Every structure is written in C-alpha cells, then in structure tokens.
Amino acid sequence: MIPLLLLAPAFAAGIHAGIPVHQRDLGDPAFQSAENGWTAPLATGDGFVRVYVGRDESTATDWFLRQREGFSRLIPDYTFRDQAAGDGVGVLLFRDGNVAVMVRSEAGAALAIGESLAARIVDGPPSLSFATLQRDESGWTVVAPGAAFVQTRGGGVIQCGNLPAGALPAAELGPPPIQPCGWTTRPDDVTAWDNYGRATVIH
Amino acid sequence: MLHARTLGPLLTLLTLTLGCQPKGIPLGDDTGPGAYPATPAVTVTGGALDPLLGTELVVATTSAHGSTVRLTVLDAAGSVVRTLADGTAMVETVPWDGHDDAGTPEPVGTYTVEAELLDADGAVLTTASADAWIVRVGVLSGTLGGDRIPLIWHIGDGPGHYWEEDAAGTTFEISAIDDGATATALPSTWDDLDTAPASHVDSSLPAAFPFDAVPTLALLAAGDYGEAPVELQVSGWGAPQLVNSGDTPVFTRDAPLAAGPSVVEETLTLTWSVDGATVGVQTVPVRIYATLGEPGFEEVGAPYEPWVAAIDPALRAITGVEGTDEAVTSALTEWIYRDLGLAYDTQYGASAYTQYSGRGYNEAEFDFTGFLARRNGSTVNCSDCASILEAYADMVGADLSYTIILQNFDLNYIKAIGGADYTHCPFGAGGCGFSYHAVTTPDETATIYDATLALDGDDDPGASPFTELLVQQISGDEYLERLVMDGQSSYNYTQKETLR
C-alpha cells in the first residue's frame, strides 16, 4: 500500500496555499489588491486582520516590512512563526513562509487571534492561474470558476442584465455566481482571488 | 371637483366676445362683480384639459339682464356631446370635465364650446364660441445634460463593486405616462446613497455638475395632443416650448447651479399649456451635486469618480464655503478632524484603511469602501486621515496629493484627531514622536493640509499654552516647524493614492 503522504504534491517548506477567507470569527473578506491581499473585521467588532499570500517567502517578507512601516509608532520585534512584530496584545504582525498576517485587536487578543489564524494556514501551491479572459463575438468575458472574488479595471463594459439602464459596472460584481457581464474592449487588469486568498492577476 | 377659483390662476383664458343690443331688454347695473353687463352680450372662453391630470376646462360666460344662456360642447363633427347650461340666467363659469352628458369620457380631440344668448322667449339673440381641446400630456423621461460629471455607487462590502453612472443616461424615467385611468406620477428621488436602484424606471437619480455649470434638461414628451398647440415649460429653465408627442425639447437652466459646492435639491415644475391656458402641472424632485469641478484624481473612470455615498455628506458639510480649492479643502479638513467621529490610534499609530503597495511609502492604497462602512472601526492613523482627506477632496473637485514626512522625529504639542488635550507624546510616555507622518498637499508640499491633528498655533509650539491651529493651507515649512520638536524631517513620496 502506498502511503497517502506520497501521493500528496510536494511543496517547498513554508509554502502555503493560504488561509480560508471565510471564517466564523471574521466578517466578510474585502479583497484589496494582489499586492495587499484581503482584510476582514473581527466578528467581535473590535479589530481586524489583514492577510497576504505571496508567491514565495520574499514577497511575503516585503509585505511584512511594508505593514510594519505603516505604524506611526515603531513596533518591536516579536517571536512568533518565521517573523513577527508587535506586542501580541493589541497588534501582532507575523509571517509564516509565504503567508503574512496582521492582527489589530482593541480587546488585547492579538496573539490568540494570530495563533488561531496561523493554525488555519493550508498547505498547497501559492498561486493558481484559474482566471482567464476569453474573447468571443460579443466581446470579452472573465472566466474564473471557483473564484471568491474577481476585480477588474478598465475596459468597455457591457451592461449586466440586472443593472439599471445606464448604470454600468466598472468592475466585476463578485462574489460568485459572477454576474453575466462582459467587456466590449479588453479590461486593463483582472484580479481573481480564490477561497484561500491566492490572487491571480491578468494584465 | 376643482372650483373655478382654484384653477383660475392656472388658466389664461382665450376669450371671444360677441355682443348686441336687442330691443326690450332693460339695461342692468354693470358695476361690481357678478353684475349683469349693461349690454346684452355673451362671452365664452375655451381652453384645454387633461382629464388624467385632474384638470377641468372652465367655461366662462356672461349674459345680459333678462336673458339666459345655453352652453354646449360640440365635437369635431358638430354634434353636441355635453350641455353645460340651458336657460340659465347669469352664468359666470361652468366647469367641463371632458365627459359627455352620459358621463362617458370624451376622447382626445378638438371641441367647440358654444354659448347662445336667449331672450325671454327662448329665441337666440346671439352666440359665441371658442375652441377647446382634450389632450393627454406627460413626459417619459428627463435627462440632465451639460457638463455632467459621472457618479458611481459603491455597492456591497468589497472593493471593486461599482455601478458607474452613464453620464449621458436618464435622470428619471417612467414606463408610461398613464395606465389608461390615472396619470403616472413622476418619480421621487432615489435616497439610498450606497446602492443604485434596480432600475432607472420610477427613480429620480442624482446627478453631478460643477457648481457654476448651467445644466440642460432634455424631456421626452409623450401622450396624445390631437391638434392642440401644446407647450411645455419648466419653471426656472427657460421659456415655454411648443412640443409634439415624441419630441425631446431641451431646456436650459436660467442660472448657474449654485453659488458654491453644495447639494442642490429642488423640484422641477413642468407646466403644460395650450394657447397659454394651463392644462396640467407635473413635478419631479431632483438632487444635483454641485461640485467644485471635475474630480481631482489623475486616473479616470471608476473608482476615480465621485461616489454618491462620499460626496453627499461631504458637500452638505461644506455648503456655504467659497468655491475655491483652498476653501473647500480647508472645510473638508475641519469636517474630517471634528465631525467624522474618528480617533487617533494612540496605542500603535496603526492604519486601519491604508496600505502601501510599493517600496517605502509608495503606492498608498486606500480602502475607501471599508472606511465608509467603518469595517475596521474608527481608530485611525495619519495614513488613514491623509487618505480620507485626499479622497473626499478629489471627489468634490479639489486636487490633493499624499505626501510622507520622514522619519523618526520628536513632536511639539499636537491635539490628535478625536483627542481632547494637547500632548507631545501621543503614545504616552516613551511615545513622543512619529516614525513617519502622512499629510496632504495640493502643490508639491508648498502647502499642507492635515486632518490628523491640530498644531499649537502660538509663538511657542513646544510649550503651553496652546492655541488650536487646524492644518488648513499652512506652508510646508511652517508645518514642519510647528510639528517637529527634534529630528530630521522632510517630505517624501508625494503621490496620488489608489482607491479601493
């Protein structure tokens, strides 16, 4: 019998698929950009998290450092996972491989929340090219099966069936089921996130 | 039923007068209202009515003392369809509701109102007549045009959910002017600032223009006017225009929209008339955002356009200020600092809604959607306040950029947003400086606006007493002098933010 372990795809150490974006103790995710990942408020209403899934440890480290620079008051180093900063009380910023997280808790639970999120990191490939732009006679469409959210920029938008006359969606209306919108001219960018927070960008 | 006196002001009556002096009829007293005229005469007045708009034709007649009047309405074939008066003495006014003697509505068309002056024996002394019309009038849509600025609604919770208004699109629309029995009311204003309506039909959507613009209003006329010379006028939007059903007359506002940035909420009054006589009046409310001008963003298209949920409160907050970039940005600075319920993060100085995508502090990315919903709360830092101020300013037509003061400097006394007291240690003991500070500038840091904090405006910003100085149009050099107690400080990374 072949051990199941041998059938699992092998990934480099510290490379993860991400963290599931829908969590009971978090509000709905808000997807920002491929460079900044997604955010969600704490369900308790007294803080929020930012989560970034990089394609490798280097991009996650860049995100970690950028987040750290965003504090008007210098926050100290902290010992947690691969890299961390904060005090574990109101703020915890950490990186685990290619996944980086910032927790801001006004209730002083930053470490507990960080530990909980770290425990939910799912191993897998860091990125998926699951979104495509397809062209047919009527124009361009975004095909992103299983996407948690799809965002577009630019392009000549074809009116969606359920939108008001004259009211055009400037960006795709995720989450799925994705609205049957299309583009007469190609969107400049398409960013799609999956349910682990992995982003794919089509330029 | 409407009384003649209530309709009187609406009606400019077409009058036809015929008179004679039959023998044997004594002259009456012709002084005072309601008095018989001295000369036996009959006068009849025509006009037009739209039965579905609730108007009635008021037929006015007079007769001489001792005579009586027979007043009838004839259709185009000359058949009497309604007798309004018969053998009546001293008829002054009689309403006609457009129905025949059996109570059946008469169709759209041209009619004749005829008055006959009868002597005591019932012989016709003289007659008078006038044209009358039954019409069905209305507008199917209205489109505000001119220098219109596209608006977008930001819907849902996630960045990237935008409904972008077509700036050439209709402002209000109805599917039909009536249902055969009643006139369809023109739409009321769409008041949800966050979500666009499911349809333009039956909604009066907001529009945006520079405050000094003179908008146009194109109305799609509909209905059945027969051969009546129908005119349409919009109060305050130019002279009446002769229209046919299916026409799209364009009206131009008599005056610029507003004296300065504001929210213009007014009711458009559409008056239909025939030969100067009012047939009906329709009203439709509109909400127009009078901005300083085109958005200040570098990029175009959504989301770099005014968001309805953003400019509505912002313009209301700054109504009354002068229409200049300086006045508007100063007013927005104070509004954000005092009135939005924000508080500085005195624990960490953590941003709640702003992240930097690029190296250093490049490519500031502002989650304006999240901010409007306060998804991450109301505790903010300087990056957030700069983002908020830039976003609001750019949306109402001012032009601000983001700039970063670096690095690790000690502070003079400040009063942070949401705070009550001046301090030079906003993070408490041991926290008497900023690692960086984000502010906004319209001119490459020559001038600074900052909604994060108030400075001490007296001669010694490093000691009490304190004189509150909001950071409104302060020179870049003075700002650093008042803000920084010790340490190197300089402006860096001046940029436009990215909106989400």
Q: What is the ipTM of this complex?
A: 0.87
Contact list, A50 vs chain B (CB under 8 Å): 355
Closest Cα partner for B377 from A164, A70, A195, A47? A47
Say if the Cβ atoms of B434 and A72 lie within 8 Å: yes
Contact list, B404 vs chain A (CB under 8 Å): none
Contact list, A165 vs chain B (CB under 8 Å): 169-170, 173, 199-201
* Main-chain dihedrals φ then ψ at residue B478, nearest 5 degrees: -60, -40
Contact list, A171 vs chain B (CB under 8 Å): 160-162, 302-303
* Cα–Cα distances in angstroms (integers) from residue B140 to residues B23, B283, B384, in the given order: 57, 13, 45
Cα B50 from Cα A168, distance rounded (Å): 38
- Give residues 61 to 90 of A whose Cβ lies within 8 Å of B: 66-67, 69-75, 86, 90
What pTM did the predictor assign?
0.87
Cα B177 from Cα A152, distance rounded (Å): 39
Question: Which residues, 6 or more positions from B155, have their beta carbon under 8 angstroms from its beta carbon?
Answer: A173, B161, B162, B163, B194, B195, B196
Domain residue spans of chain A: 4-119, 132-202
Tokens of A10: 């092998």
* Main-chain dihedrals φ then ψ at residue B269, nearest 5 degrees: -105, 115
Domains, chain B, with CATH or none: 41-134 (2.60.40.4070), 136-291 (no CATH), 324-499 (no CATH)
Chain A touched by B141 (CB under 8 Å): no
* Nearest chain A alpha carbon to B353: A39
- Give residues 431 to 450 of B whose Cβ lies within 8 Å of A: 431, 434-437
Q: Report helix, strand or coil for B383.
A: helix
Shortest CA gap B436–chain A (Å): 6
**Closest partner residue to A171 among B161, B166, B367, by Cβ?**
B161
Tokens of B8: 């009187």
| DSSP conformational letter for B76 | T
Chain B touched by A48 (CB under 8 Å): yes
Cα B99 from Cα B117, distance rounded (Å): 23
Cα B353 from Cα B377, distance rounded (Å): 9
Chain B touched by A171 (CB under 8 Å): yes
Quick one: CA dihedral B174, B177, B178, B179, positive or negative? negative
The answer to whether B357 and B275 are in contact (CB under 8 A) is: no
Say if the Cβ atoms of A32 and B161 lie within 8 Å: no
What does the pLDDT profile of chain B (500 residues) look like in tens digits?
333 333 333 332 323 233 323 333 333 344 444 555 556 667 778 889 998 988 888 777 766 666 788 999 999 999 999 999 888 876 778 889 999 999 999 999 999 999 888 888 888 888 889 999 999 999 999 999 999 999 988 765 455 566 777 777 888 989 899 998 899 999 999 888 887 776 667 789 899 999 999 999 999 999 999 999 999 999 999 999 999 999 999 999 999 999 999 999 999 999 999 988 899 999 999 999 999 999 999 988 778 999 999 999 999 999 999 999 999 999 999 999 999 999 999 999 999 999 999 888 999 999 998 999 999 999 999 999 999 999 999 999 999 999 999 989 999 999 999 999 999 999 998 899 999 999 999 999 999 999 999 999 999 999 999 999 999 999 999 999 999 999 889 999 999 999 88
* Nearest chain B alpha carbon to A42: B376
Closest Cα partner for B370 from A28, A18, A166, A46? A28
Say if the Cβ atoms of B200 and A165 lie within 8 Å: yes
> From start to end of A60-153, where are the E strands?
77-78, 83-86, 91-96, 99-105, 122-123, 132-136, 139-143, 149-153
- pLDDT at residue B92, as a whole number: 74
Over residues A112-141, mean pLDDT:
86
Tally Cβ neighbours within 10 Å of residue B128: 23
Cα B487 from Cα A117, distance rounded (Å): 39
Chain A touched by B462 (CB under 8 Å): no
Contact list, B352 vs chain A (CB under 8 Å): 48, 104
Tokens of A12: 């480099």
Shortest CA gap B11–chain A (Å): 38
**Closest partner residue to A166 among B166, B345, B348, by Cβ?**
B166
**Closest partner residue to B199 among A36, A70, A164, by Cβ?**
A164
- Decide which of 3.40.1000, 3.30.390, 3.40.50, 3.40.1350 is the CATH code for A4-119: 3.40.1000
Cα B20 from Cα B39, distance rounded (Å): 7
Shortest CA gap A4–chain B (Å): 39
Say if the Cβ atoms of A31 and B160 lie within 8 Å: yes
* Cα–Cα distances in angstroms (integers) from residue B280 to residues A32, A150, B400, in the given order: 53, 50, 49
Say if the Cβ atoms of B376 and A39 lie within 8 Å: yes
Cα B423 from Cα B415, distance rounded (Å): 6
Shortest CA gap A51–chain B (Å): 12
Helix (H) or strand (E) holding A60: helix A57-69
Say if the Cβ atoms of B354 and A174 lie within 8 Å: no
- Count Cβ neighbours within 10 Å for each residue of B436-466 and write b for 16 or more, e otherwise: bbbbbbbeebebbbbbbbbbbeeeebeeeeb
**Closest partner residue to A74 among B356, B357, B435, by Cβ?**
B435
Name the burial class of residue B416, with classes exposed (0-12), middle (13-18) and buried (19+) by CB atoms within 10 angstroms of its CB: buried
Cα B73 from Cα B55, distance rounded (Å): 17
Shortest CA gap A138–chain B (Å): 20
* Cα–Cα distances in angstroms (integers) from residue B459 to residues A193, B446, B449, B464, B474, in the given order: 54, 21, 20, 10, 15
**Closest partner residue to A171 among B162, B169, B197, by Cβ?**
B162
* Cα–Cα distances in angstroms (integers) from residue B181 to residues B76, B276, B280, in the given order: 24, 26, 16
**Closest partner residue to B352 among A30, A48, A154, by Cβ?**
A48
Tokens 């408020």 found at: A41
Over residues A85-113, mean pLDDT:
97
Say if the Cβ atoms of A175 and B375 lie within 8 Å: no
Chain A touched by B410 (CB under 8 Å): no
Please determine, for residue A173, whether its predicted confidence score (pLDDT) is greater than 50. Answer: no
Q: Report helix, strand or coil for B392.
A: helix
Amino acid occupying residue B398:
A
Cα A133 from Cα B18, distance rounded (Å): 80
